[in-house]
Structure 1
Amino acid sequence: MAKNKSPEGRGPSQRMLRVGEVIRRGLSEVLSRGEIHDAELNRMMITVGEVRVSADLRIATCYVLPLGGDGKDDLLKMLSKNKHELRMVLTQKLKLKHSPELRFQLDHTYDQMEATRAMLAQEDVARDIAAPDHEEAPE
């Protein structure tokens, strides 16, 4: 009998990835259409970068970022305040058997990409990347 839980040290299962993506798309749609009864939240443009679901599918951690990066702290407060309504709307929209608890965190992926670009743009790193590798593997 296969386990739904991914073993320690391995990545998420296909089921976890699939459910996370379904929730991400649904949450993005709900937020972009302004289906929540919070005028402040509906005015914000929000990017849902990723949703990670726990192995038992009971907790969904949503990585979000306001468009332009302004108002990050306000965004987390507003989403946390409205998480019960978001959960209800998502459950109805996606017809999920069990509605996961929604948790929100800031998405730092774009910051990490910028740091990587900056590092690769450094002169000494660019020189090392462009240099041919003259060492041959020992036989």
Structure 2
Amino acid sequence: MPKPTSSAPSQRMLRVGEQVRVAITKVLQRGDVRDPVLSNTLISVTEVRMSPDLMVATAFVTPLGVEDHAGTIAALNKHARFIRGRVSPDLRQMRNIPELRFRDDTSFANYKHIDDLLKSPAVARDLDHHDVATDGAEEADADAVDQGGSDETKA
């Protein structure tokens, strides 16, 4: 009977992904990749997701201080084989060094969008209305407890 597949990554996938992330970060910090687009860009590797067979590593990166993320991602993917060769000494415990793929990490933009939505006047109004309703319900609960009294006061 085949093992059911899970959508969550295994512990091994997470551990290897973190090792690959650290190795890629070292290569990019050292400036081993000689590319005009990458030489003037600070790149943060936020996450690396491994395929179940550990043969493909998708690195989510955020170019800092650059508006053209697509150009930076294209340059990283162009040099992916070179970067793979540079990370191999740090990953020598692995049987196979994974193929590297670089993707733009949009999670920070998503977090900012959600934060902006939560700060919008409509949501703030709804939250204030909910707080007033909740406070009223809590006061009613407290009054009910006070009216019931405890066993000590009845005796």
Identity %: 37
- Asked if the contact 2:73–2:104 (Cα under 8 Å) also holds between the matched residues in 1, the reply is yes
2:59 aligned partner, one-letter code = C
The residue number in structure 2 matching 1:61 is 58
The residue number in structure 2 matching 1:48 is 45
Q: TM-score scaled to structure 2, two decimals?
A: 0.75
Single out whichever of 90-99 and 23-32 deviates more from structure 2.
90-99
The residue number in structure 2 matching 1:114 is 112
Q: What stretches of structure 2 of length at least 5 have no aligned partner?
A: 139-155
Q: What stretches of structure 1 of length at least 5 have no aligned partner?
A: none
Task: Write out the 4+ residue segments of structure 1 that deviate beyond 4 Å after TM superposition.
Answer: none
Q: 1:31 aligns with which of 28, 31, 35?
A: 28
Q: 1:101 aligns with which of 94, 99, 102?
A: 99
- Pairing 1:73–2:70 present: yes
Aligned length: 131
Q: 2:83 aligns with which of 77, 86, 90?
A: 86
- Asked if the contact 1:64–1:105 (Cα under 8 Å) also holds between the matched residues in 2, the reply is yes
Q: TM-score scaled to structure 1, two decimals?
A: 0.83
1:92-117 Cα offsets, whole Å, 9 max, x none, are 22223211111111100111011011
2:29 aligned partner, one-letter code = S
Q: Which has the higher helix share?
A: 2
Tell me how far apart the structure 2 counterparts of residues 68 and 50 of structure 1 sit (CA, whole Å). 19
TM-aligned CA deviation for residue 39 of structure 1 = 4.6
Q: Which has the larger radius of gyration?
A: 2
CA RMSD of aligned residues (A): 2.2
